[in-house]
Amino acid sequence: MNKIAIIPGDGIGKEVMDAALHVLDSIGLKFDYKFGEAGDEYFEKYGIALPKETIDLVKSSDACLFGAAGETAADVIVRLRQVMNLFANLRPVKSYPNTNSLFDNLDFMIVRENTEGIYVGQEEFIEDGAVAKRIISRKASERIINYAFNYAMENNRFKVTCVHKANVLKKTDGLFKETFYNIAEKYPKIDKEDFYVDATAMYLLTRPESFDVIVTTNLFGDILSDEGAGLVGGLGLIPSANIGEDAGLFEPVHGSAPDIAGKGIANPIAMILSAGMMLDYLGLNTEAHKIDLAIQEVLKEGKVLTRDLGGNSSTMDLANEVIDKYNEI
């Protein structure tokens, strides 16, 4: 039985986590859940956002489900990514029916380098301002680009797009672009292309259906993936995965939403889809696919929806509807 670390975190993280675990239990998937604490509330009590006990729990588990963090997000989720060497951040952008999606035919993956770039946090004040260091290594570039091409091969994707700003960041992004084309030679069946990040931001609005797999650096991937979420109805529908050599952490990309926390009205879909990505990671591909199909049916039917989706149903009402649709498939 797989050991799964559960970190509900703050705000609606607890509620959507309960909903996701209810779905997994109700469809017959049994895991050994071990709960850990982290986030704003823990910081207020103990003066630290991510205790060593939680880090050790994640390290000893087969996978981790994470709910949401508030103001301490950088000290919790970014720290976990670094400690666990979760180098690949996967952010799917997919159109679902009966949502605020601007397009009805999108299905692409953003593969974001997760360990370096400007998010290494090496900043310092200088006499008249501040300086931040941006680190792009050949090793990390090769690792994330190989991951993107392998993902494309394993998931019947036809093209990988490299996103950079090599015309200005000539050394760091120049290295990333050069590495991309060197590695691309090993994958002759996969189409390859590259765009500047500003052009990509425009193309995501004007022709997003042309993308299949995007691979990019840490900050660019962070920004573009939120733009992608806006294309398909918002952060409440977007899951994510953080993958390392021998570890995986799965989380929705929405925040802790303190304004609605405790009201039982949060949309659990992103959390349930994140659990589905965990199932894929653990090799339970059929179950993961059925969860995705069940969510599509719930949204298409439109009878049980949370307020952000135009309905009046509760978090658990929506989770139970997903279970019902899953059992009908």
Q: Map tokens 């926390």 to a residue.
A: 261
CA pair distance 299, 306, nearest whole angstrom: 10
Indicate if the alpha-carbon torsion angle 175, 81, 58, 266 is positive or negative.
negative
Of the residues 119, 151, 281, 326, only one is catalytic, namely 119
Phi, psi of 308, deg, nearest 5: -65, -20
State the Cα–Cα distance between residues 115 and 260, nearest whole angstrom. 32
Catalytic residue among 75, 191, 226, 317: 226
User: Residue 191 — φ and ψ, nearest 5°?
Assistant: -65, 150
Q: How many CA atoms lie within 13 A of 219 on its CB side?
A: 15
Answer yes or no: 119 catalytic.
yes
- Kindly state the tokens that stand for 275: 């659990």
**Residue 58, φ and ψ in degrees, nearest 5:** -65, -40
For residue 227, give the 3-state DSSP assignment.
Answer: helix
In a 3-state reduction of DSSP, which class is residue 325? helix
Q: How far apart are CA 146 and CA 183, in angstroms?
A: 7
What residues have CB less than 8 Å from 277, skipping those under 6 apart?
90, 92, 239, 240, 241, 250, 288
Residue 198 catalytic? yes
CA 282 – CA 271 distance, rounded (Å)? 17
Nearest to 15 by CA among 252, 248, 240, 290: 252
DSSP letter at 253 equals S
Q: How far apart are CA 89 and CA 217, in angstroms?
A: 10
Q: Which of 32, 56, 107, 198 is catalytic?
A: 198
Q: Which of 190, 7, 9 is nearest to 111 (CA)?
A: 190
Out of 40, 173, 222, 280, the active site residue is 222
The question of whether 128 is a catalytic residue gets the answer: no
Catalytic hit among 94, 165, 192, 290: 165
Active site (annotated) includes residue 226: yes
Catalogue the active-site residues.
119, 165, 198, 222, 226
